Structure 1
């Protein structure tokens, strides 16, 4: 069985990989920040899970959950923040218009400041936090 939040990530990865504009930028799509840093791609978009708030159980038998999905862009560029924004500009409408069973709402959270890695002087990580609100049965993460 797969949790609903993991199902959301898998579906978003598939949509991002299939997007012609993302393909044209030659963005490497993945789940692991470590693998992307090791891979030497000039642009990578990593989708991973952030925190999850305790569920609201106001609906009898159901839990309304709030989870963070993190979208981290890794760039190797002399203007890394600009390069990261070129990827985020393409990903944002996909993330915000995403629809799935049990998904109630999507909203944009904070965008972290660029984190510069000292590996090569040009590597940068930029993360946007998105918040998805969804509903499950009170005793399940999968339905």
Structure 2
């Protein structure tokens, strides 16, 4: 999905902590040359010196964009004509919280639901992704 790829790229570009910055930190008390790996400031795991380069290559894009990343991106760059609220939604008789982006660019505000059962951007509805993507094209 081209919109998801462009949206993800825009979020990564605008939030420096999500750029594919890899940092390896040697464990002080380690006898096995173990390293802690951080990507974009997020702890990804530990590895031995021999596995370090392989780990970096294989995990450079593993971090999925999450709701907290989207909310930070939205509030910093695109909140002029839309905002985010949390409501209880009923789905098949089950009540659960859902995030809702409300778009005020139209006379009749549109609402786009973020299912809080799924935290990754890639798992959200095509309608929500299309809305968020449309913000990139709008001057704010």
Q: Shorter chain as normaliser: what TM range?
A: under 0.3
- Which protein has the larger Cα radius of gyration, Structure 1 or Structure 2? 2
Larger relative contact order (C-alpha < 8 A, sep ≥ 6)? 1
Q: Which has the higher strand share?
A: 1
For normalisation by structure 2, the TM-score amounts to 0.25
The structure that is helix-richer by fraction is 2
